[in-house]
């Protein structure tokens, strides 16, 4: 599977795997289901919500590999 990057859209990443909502929640990012998720990048969402994007990406990619 391709690696998830900061420039990918939140909603598209969430749709990749059923584990994704839990990864977002574990990182404090609860907006994965809001209307902005369909057009906002991971980097933008993390900036708005003051979330460590590198940690979120690492957790997302680890979950996808498992």
Task: Give the tens place of pLDDT for each residue, 12-64.
Answer: 999 999 999 999 999 999 887 888 889 999 999 999 999 999 999 999 999 99
**How open is the CA angle 38-21-14, to the nearest 5 degrees?**
35
- What is the 8-class DSSP label of residue 4? P
Q: pTM of this prediction?
A: 0.90
Tell me which residue of 44, 61, 34 sits closest to 9, measured CA to CA.
Answer: 44
Domain ranges of the chain: 10-65
4 pLDDT more than 90: yes
Instruction: Give the pLDDT of residue 32.
Output: 79
Instruction: Dihedral sign for Cα 30, 33, 39, 41, please.
Output: positive
Would the pLDDT of 1 be above 70?
no
């Amino acid at each position: 599977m391709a690696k998830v990057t900061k420039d990918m859209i939140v909603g598209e990443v969430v749709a990749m795997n059923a584990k994704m909502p839990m990864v977002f929640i574990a990182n404090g990012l609860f907006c994965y289901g809001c209307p902005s998720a369909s057009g906002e990048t991971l980097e933008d969402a993390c900036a708005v919500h003051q979330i460590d994007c590198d940690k979120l990406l690492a957790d997302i990619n680890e979950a996808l590999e498992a």
